[in-house]
């Protein structure tokens, strides 16, 4: 084809003239020194982009430079243009506010109501804004369910509101992702979880035939170990209403474990709250201001006060070759040894024992209430160690610790690991709980997700109640502390 013969085909920029293209910066050398007809070609392209309504097409001619020499000054122009475009877009995007609300106070729907969220966009710019709202819904284990995508133009200083509904959900928890995009750039993003009828989540008991026999035998073996309680006063923590003691005692396998005991300075028989700690928590003293209770905070083997003599490496992986050697067999029995300690104390009313704790401590509260009828009330929150098959579909941890174990033990199989974990799954233990129980969850929890919290809770046959904190993750609010203390007081009769 002769250079004097123009052609506009799919290889020519002019073929793609359109008003919704991203910003274009067109740079040419001197028209008398450029490639033949190059300046005129791009000038025509620039003109047609303007004609179709594209507002951000810019044309520059660099005098005195041919096609090869125009590169260096062209880069300087381009860099400054990019800065200006990004700054303008940042300013415009900063003036777009997206709010997403859930028309349920705890983000947990019940009954026949569908899942429902509201998206509100406010354009505080002095010009119209075009964009796209994308709402994606998945199960808590990331199985896609529905995606809605809406293109829109929001007028200057105007707002946009849209309700998004998902009909006929099944009991469980769900993940929403809401995006607002402009020119394929994410301007705003919101991610959150909601729930539907959690008390109907189907996570059946999968205990083995010898499950009860295993724990009966384990408790008998614990009783053979003399605790040899040793109490050492901690003077710096004994200046208020309690004397604080470091407690040392022997547990299953003759393991030395420790805890802190707040002994009331007031005379008489006192109810006691036994508190179990989270996975890898730092040791802390229990309450020191008088509120009517004695307190004992246990450090299970290898953790907290026992960390300096830890021999269990990654606790949750230790002993996965045999249920008799598994870490949590001994740890669960440490939980019972803590109850042995408080009932050995003359100042404790052994008929008024409460247990509580969060995360691992929440799981251990379930364990205590399930394995020992001396527990009269339990107040766990965000409990760990539940419904492992579903747990590992929802969260990367602690599953990644198990992957590491399998990598280092190629002879091990997931099927065998899951079989072993059934003996230490609080979903299976919860069926034995007879005392009143009050549980709290964080709906946004991605460490011990609400699905597994309710897997255990739903197996409890005794009086029970729960509360949810819609915006919290692996924690609960002060409201639960207050209401759970009142719950404990009522159930212990004072």
Q: Which residues are catalytic?
A: 359, 445, 474
For 237, the token pair is: 């923590």
* CB 440 within 8 Å of CB 224: no
CA dist., res. 401 & res. 29, Å (int): 60
Which residue, 277, 262, 451, is CA-closest to 364? Answer: 277
Which residue, 194, 104, 137, is CA-closest to 442? Answer: 194
Alpha helices in 327-383 (DSSP H): 327-344, 360-371
* CB 339 within 8 Å of CB 274: yes
* CB 29 within 8 Å of CB 40: no
Q: How far is CA 214 from the centre of its chain?
A: 33
DSSP state letter for 114: P
**Residue 434: helix, strand or coil by DSSP?**
coil
CA dist., res. 245 & res. 229, Å (int): 11
* CB 402 within 8 Å of CB 388: no
């Amino acid at each position: 084809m002769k250079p004097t013969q123009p052609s506009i085909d799919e290889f020519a920029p002019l073929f793609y003239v359109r008003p919704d293209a991203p910003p274009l910066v067109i740079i040419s050398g001197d028209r008398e020194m450029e490639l033949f007809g190059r300046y005129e070609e791009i000038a025509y392209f620039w003109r047609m982009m303007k004609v179709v309504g594209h507002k951000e097409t810019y044309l520059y001619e660099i005098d005195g430079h041919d096609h090869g020499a125009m590169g260096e000054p062209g880069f300087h122009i381009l860099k400054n243009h990019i800065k200006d475009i990004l700054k303008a877009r940042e300013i415009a995007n900063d003036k777009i506010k997206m709010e997403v609300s859930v028309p349920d106070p705890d983000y947990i729907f019940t009954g026949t109501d569908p899942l429902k969220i509201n998206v509100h966009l406010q354009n505080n710019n002095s010009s119209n804004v075009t964009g796209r709202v994308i709402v994606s819904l998945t199960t808590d284990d990331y199985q896609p369910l529905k995606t809605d995508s809406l293109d829109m133009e929001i007028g200057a200083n105007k707002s946009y509101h849209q309700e998004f509904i998902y009909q006929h959900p099944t009991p469980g928890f769900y993940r929403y992702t809401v995006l607002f995009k402009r020119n394929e750039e994410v301007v705003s993003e919101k991610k959150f979880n909601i729930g539907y009828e959690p008390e109907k989540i189907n996570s059946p008991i999968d205990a083995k035939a010898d499950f009860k026999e295993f724990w009966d035998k384990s408790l008998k073996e614990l009783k053979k170990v003399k605790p040899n309680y040793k109490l050492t006063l901690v003077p710096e923590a004994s200046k208020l209403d309690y004397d604080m003691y470091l407690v040392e005692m022997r547990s299953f396998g003759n393991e030395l474990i420790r805890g802190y005991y707040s002994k009331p300075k007031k005379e008489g028989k006192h109810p006691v709250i036994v508190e179990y700690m989270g996975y890898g928590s730092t040791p802390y003293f229990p309450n020191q201001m008088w509120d009517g209770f004695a307190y004992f905070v246990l450090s299970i083997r290898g953790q907290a006060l026992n960390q300096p003599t830890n021999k269990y490496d990654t606790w949750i992986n230790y002993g996965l070759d045999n249920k008799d050697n598994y870490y949590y067999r001994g740890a669960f029995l440490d939980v019972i040894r803590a109850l042995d300690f408080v009932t050995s104390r003359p100042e404790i009313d052994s008929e008024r024992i409460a247990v509580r704790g969060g995360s691992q401590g929440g799981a251990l509260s379930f364990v205590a209430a399930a394995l020992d009828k001396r527990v009269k009330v339990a107040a766990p929150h965000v409990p760990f160690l539940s419904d492992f098959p579903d747990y590992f579909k929802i969260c990367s941890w602690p599953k990644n610790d198990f992957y590491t174990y399998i990598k280092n033990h190629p002879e091990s199989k997931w099927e065998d690991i899951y079989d072993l974990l059934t003996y230490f799954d609080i979903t299976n233990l919860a069926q034995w709980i007879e005392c009143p129980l009050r549980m709290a969850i964080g709906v946004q929890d991605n460490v011990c997700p609400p699905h597994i919290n309710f897997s255990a809770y739903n197996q409890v046959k005794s009086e029970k109640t729960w509360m949810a904190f819609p915006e919290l993750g692996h924690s609960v609010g002060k409201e639960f502390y207050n209401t759970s203390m009142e719950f404990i007081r009522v159930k212990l009769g004072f």
